[in-house]
Structure 1
């Protein structure tokens, strides 16, 4: 079936008539389109049903968890479903612009509010995805066990299966566990790089494409610092509103190890050296 027919059929399930569609950027894993319907503009994400089972249901739950904090603006989840061999996620369309004055201060305040949504147990009541990789969210009583067992160890297994040599990883895990501060679990976006936020046409800070869990809050900040794209104002104002434990800057590489390991397992050996360097540092 032609793509236009598929999109028209999905629009019809909502009582809409599709007028036109156009592809949007950000479709590395999924195909993403802006649908202009007679009722409204919406975003649709599509993938083959057997490629990433349950991905869109998990993403919808994550977006709804973030929205419930009344911190960042989060696209409304309109619905998920299956059409033939495709799964889809329908979302509110939020027009974007370049950040204007006050955006980064608002971003910091919103991130503070998000991270103050806390629990005693680390994890989540369902698993989800980080990029194209499954992300396990089994519950643990402390940050160190959660981080090692639910974040680092699964990546170690994947990289060893792919033939990468990381012989010092287990020693590094023991030392990393000693460095992790004792804080409650915060609600995390979980994949907070510059491609997963935008400034709305009213200068609101908007988050998209989450990989949520209740985890160590320094993880979000470390991911923000890893690839850039965030003003230094964010880190300054965040730390003023919700002070971080001493040594947080020195621990950034500890948390960045997870995200670099994910990149190694998705994109290949160009990330191997950076993963090896952090493991060596903690071995």
Structure 2
């Protein structure tokens, strides 16, 4: 078990300079859970903050996270941990965030409230798909070049970069020629379905969702962009899912259009390819199965 410790002088000075808060003599308490960044609670002057640390080269990732959190906060659908400061020491990048007391979604009421907030977030729409800057999905760069057409955006900015990375890692043969054929046929999925460019969390699995002490829904660790709202819904079904009341409430308020199940497989292929690229061969079989499912529908 890790024990609280004091930040080194460089980190304390950098945090103080960036935030205006005196972190001399602060206490750092490591927090478990993340696999990309080091996470800590920071106590100083009778208050507590949440701190992420990584190598100095990771500063753009923290800058993008702060941008995404600000965009979600501006929508005001969810409570979002406020980014307070970010920067680097000689060898570390840091992101200092508001500390919130959180618990996982568990009850039917939790699911209902979270769904109502997500509907509100998704009703924040714009004309173009993408975002004003690139950001990250996990530790992977995520391209957000604005597009007028959703299908072209999803092919060019989501699937193509992931497939290129997978092939560079030696998975080309396993993923097969069907992947290239799919890229050509994906626009056919959207001939009769024209999604709005909704504000999306972008990485909406249950580990990035919580409930605050007062019952308010909270989201964090975003990969924000504007896209089909079904992409958020689809990812919510990966890696454990949300309470049944979440899906019932969301679908009652704003039912997905016909064809959602196939779109869900398409959108989640992006995340499974990303896990393949980040974490290795354990996700290869799932990626292959998803490509075969899509191929059986789109390449007939």
Superposition TM-score tier, normalisation by shorter sequence: over 0.9
User: Could you report, residue by residue, the CA deviation over 1:239-260 in whole angstroms, capped at 9, with x for unpaired residues?
Assistant: 1112221121343111110010
Partner of 1:246: 258
In the TM superposition, residue 182 of structure 1 has moved relative to its aligned partner by: 0.9
When structure 1 is superposed on structure 2, of 39-48 and 18-27 the one drifting more is 18-27
2:260 maps to 1:272: no
In the TM superposition, residue 101 of structure 1 has moved relative to its aligned partner by: 5.6
Change (3 A) 1:98 1:191: closer
Residue segments in structure 1 that go unaligned for 5+ positions in a row: none
2:12 maps to 1:5: no
User: Could you report, residue by residue, the CA deviation over 1:22-44 in whole angstroms, capped at 9, with x for unpaired residues?
Assistant: 01123311111100110521011
Partner of 2:84: 78
User: Could you report, residue by residue, the CA deviation over 1:69-101 in whole angstroms, capped at 9, with x for unpaired residues?
Assistant: 110100011111111211111100001235456
Q: Counterpart of 1:249 in 2: which secondary structure?
A: helix
Change (3 A) 1:244 1:251: same
Q: Where does 1:206-221 land on structure 2 (aligned, <5 Å)?
A: 206-221=218-233
Bigger helix fraction: 2
Partner of 1:19: 26
TM-score by length of 2: 0.89
Change (3 A) 1:199 1:6: farther
Partner of 1:234: 246
How far apart, in 2, do the equivalents of 1:249 and 1:281 lie?
11
How far apart, in 1, do the equivalents of 2:184 and 2:242 lie?
32
TM-score by length of 1: 0.94
Q: Where does 1:148-227 land on structure 2 (aligned, <5 Å)?
A: 148-164=155-171, 165=173, 166=175, 167-180=177-190, 181-227=193-239
Q: Counterpart of 2:54 in 1: which secondary structure?
A: strand
Q: Counterpart of 1:163 in 2: which secondary structure?
A: coil
Partner of 1:46: 53
Q: Where does 1:53-72 land on structure 2 (aligned, <5 Å)?
A: 53-72=59-78
Cα contact 1:59–1:209 (8 A) shared by 2: yes
How far apart, in 2, do the equivalents of 1:249 and 1:119 lie?
25
Change (3 A) 1:248 1:42: same
In the TM superposition, residue 229 of structure 1 has moved relative to its aligned partner by: 3.5
Change (3 A) 1:282 1:97: closer
Cα contact 1:175–1:282 (8 A) shared by 2: no
How far apart, in 2, do the equivalents of 1:176 and 1:232 lie?
30
Total equivalences in the alignment: 281
Q: Counterpart of 2:237 in 1: which secondary structure?
A: helix
How far apart, in 2, do the equivalents of 1:98 and 1:45 lie?
20
How far apart, in 2, do the equivalents of 1:162 and 1:185 lie?
32
How far apart, in 2, do the equivalents of 1:172 and 1:219 lie?
18
Cα contact 1:172–1:280 (8 A) shared by 2: no
In the TM superposition, residue 60 of structure 1 has moved relative to its aligned partner by: 0.2
User: Could you report, residue by residue, the CA deviation over 1:116-152 in whole angstroms, capped at 9, with x for unpaired residues?
Assistant: 1111210111000001110000011111001111000
2:116 maps to 1:91: no
